[in-house]
Amino acid sequence: MTQAPGAAPIRVLIVEDNRDICENIAAFLEQHSYILDFAYDGISAMHLALTSPFDVIVLDLMLPGMDGLIFCQKLRADAKVETPVLMLTARDTLDDKLKGFAAGADDYLVKPFALQELNARLQALYKRSHGKTDNLLTVADLTMNRSTLQVHRAGQRIELNPTGMKLLQRLMEEAPSVVARNTLETLLWADEHPDGDALRSHMYKLRQAVDRPFDSPLIHTVHRIGYRIAEDV
């Protein structure tokens, strides 16, 4: 994995079986603010896309193991991953492009391409998907866009109800600090706190969405005090 110096590195997965093309892309993009990872077939690319957070995926259409169209379809329909995909291909007909977009690609770049154009398209996809930086909350591989109210973890969209959204936003805004139970209860119910431990029930549902599908928990209980969200306890 290579990283170039820069204030806001963009994490990109390059899926391309031509190693010369990969080397050329790496040599150019390492001059800019990118963290790069590479896969040379569709199956290993799918594993990386589902286990590591990426901002953009650059996807060749013709791949061993699983071609780009099937990869993109499975990424969107089966895995529900919404990471922007820039599809690379030597096929330049309108029908080919439409098939790529129908499979879930966000942009299309025909080979051979200028590396400067690749850089420009990566930047555009990143800005489009992340919105304004001030609106983006990030804890480890979890992100929340406060403008669009979209939540992603490891590139996978997480659906939350309004209560879960409120709780997660406050926890992420205060991370890694502990947020007191009373603070969260007031956030949800103002001065009319319900009887029983309704907050625990809502936190359980939030954990089911944010932590259960993934390897490491981010939401932690601080006994008798409250909750915090952080990469480690």
What string of DSSP letters covers 27-62?
HHHTTSSEEEEEESSHHHHHHHHHHS--SEEEEESS
Over its length of 233 residues, how does the chain's per-residue pLDDT go in tens digits?
A: 444 433 457 899 999 999 999 999 999 998 887 899 999 999 999 999 988 889 999 999 999 999 999 999 999 988 888 899 999 988 777 788 888 888 999 999 999 999 999 999 998 888 887 654 557 888 988 999 887 888 999 888 999 999 999 999 999 988 888 999 999 999 999 878 887 889 999 999 999 999 998 989 999 999 989 999 998 75
Q: How far is CA 10 from the centre of its chain?
A: 11
Q: What is the largest CA-CA distance in the chain?
A: 65
SS3 86: strand
Instruction: Calculate the alpha carbon distances from 147 to 53, 81, 160, 185, 210 in Å.
Output: 21, 20, 15, 23, 19
Domains of the chain: 2-130 (3.40.50.2300), 135-229 (1.10.10.10)
SS3 186: helix
pTM to 2 decimal places: 0.58
Q: Do 71 and 79 touch, CB atoms closer than 8 A?
A: no
What is the tally of helices (H) and strands (E) in the chain?
8, 13
Across the chain, where does the E strand assignment appear? 2-3, 10-15, 34-39, 56-60, 85-89, 107-110, 136-139, 142-145, 150-153, 156-158, 179-180, 219-222, 226-229
Burial of 125 (0-12, 13-18, 19+ CB in 10 A): buried
Retrieve residue 198's tokens: 């309704």
Measured CA to CA, the distance from residue 130 to residue 78 in angstroms comes to 23
